[in-house]
Amino acid sequence: MWMGTHLNAPTRVLSTGHLLSSHLAANPDLIGESVIKRFDLQNGQIPFLFKVLSFDKALPVQIHPDKHIAQRIHSTNPSSYGGKPLFMF
């Protein structure tokens, strides 16, 4: 299962049916100010895609940036991003 705000496959909030991007735009505290500033987020668009791998057992969740964010991170600090996930929970 994928969760994100990509225009070709946007996620909807189960309880309301609204687009995730609209929900995040109306509730920016769900993303957090530091993340909004770090990735220059606008209109509830998030530059990463969550992938849920299993409901049966705990597995790591990997978050990958979109191409433009990855290029910017790589250009400012090449050793910090080499195709590896930015975050793991």
Q: Are 62 and 51 in contact (CB under 8 A)?
A: yes
Residue 26, amino acid: A
Range of the domain at 82: 2-88
Q: Which two tokens stand for residue 64?
A: 């990958």
Q: Rounded distance, CA 66 to CA 49, Å?
A: 8
**pLDDT for residue 87:** 47
Residue 15 has pLDDT above 90, yes or no: yes
Render pLDDT for 21-61 as a digit per residue (tens, 0 to 9): 999 999 999 988 998 888 888 889 887 777 666 667 776 66
Strands 62-65 and 48-51: antiparallel
Full-model pTM:
0.55
pLDDT digits (tens, 9 = 90+) for 55-88: 677 766 667 777 888 788 778 877 765 555 554 4
Q: Which residues of 58-70 are buried (b: 16+ CB within 10 A; e: fewer)?
A: eeeebbbbeeebb
Number of domains in the chain: 1
